[in-house]
Amino acid sequence: MTIISFFRLSRWSPPRVLMTGFALIILIGGVLLSMPFASRDGTATAFIDALFTATSATCVTGLVTVDTGSHYSIAGQIIILILIQIGGLGFMTMATLFALVLRKRISLKERLILQEAMNQNSMEGIVRLIRKVVLYAFIIELVGAALFAIRWSLDMPLGQAIYFGIFHGVSMFNNAGFDLFGQFGTPYVSFTQYVNDPLVNIVTMLLIILGGIGFIVMSDLLEFRTLRRLSLHSKVVLSATGALIGVGTIVIFIFEFSNKGTLGSLGWGGKILASFYQSVSPRTAGPNTVDLASLRQATQFFIIILMFIGASPGSTGGGIKTTTFTTLIGAVIAMIRGKEDIVLFNYRLARERIFKALTITVLSLALVVFVTMVLSTTEDKAFIKILFETTSAFGTVGLSLGVTPELSMIGKIIICLTMFAGRLGPLTLAYALGPRTEKELYRHPEGKIIIG
The DSSP secondary structure of 176-209, one letter per residue, reads -----GGGGS-TT-TTGGGTT-HHHHHHHHHHHH
pTM of the model: 0.88
The per-residue pLDDT for 307 is: 94
Beta strands in 311-354 (DSSP E): 343-344, 347-348
Q: Confidence class of residue 1 from pLDDT cuts 50, 70 and 90?
A: very low
Radius of gyration of the chain (CA): 22
CB atoms within 10 A of CB 231: 15
Would the pLDDT of 114 be above 70? Answer: no
The per-residue pLDDT for 110 is: 60
Kindly report the backbone phi and psi dihedral angles of residue 295, in degrees, each rounded to the nearest multiple of 5, phi listed first: -65, 150
Q: Confidence class of residue 14 from pLDDT cuts 50, 70 and 90?
A: low
**207-254 pLDDT per residue, tens:** 999 988 887 888 888 888 787 888 888 999 999 999 999 999 999 999
Residues 6+ apart with CB under 8 A from 365: 308
Contact 245, 163 (CB under 8 A): no
Span 143-168, average pLDDT: 95
**392-411 pLDDT per residue, tens:** 999 989 899 989 999 999 99
Give me the sign of the Cα torsion angle 27, 29, 32, 36.
Answer: negative
The per-residue pLDDT for 20 is: 82
The C-alpha atoms of residue 180 and residue 168 are separated, in whole angstroms, by: 8
The C-alpha atoms of residue 130 and residue 101 are separated, in whole angstroms, by: 13
Q: Which is higher by pLDDT, 287 or 52?
A: 52
Residues 6+ apart with CB under 8 A from 119: 313, 314
The per-residue pLDDT for 424 is: 82
Q: Confidence class of residue 51 from pLDDT cuts 50, 70 and 90?
A: very high
Residue 303 CA from chain centroid, whole number: 15
Contact 167, 181 (CB under 8 A): no
The per-residue pLDDT for 8 is: 46
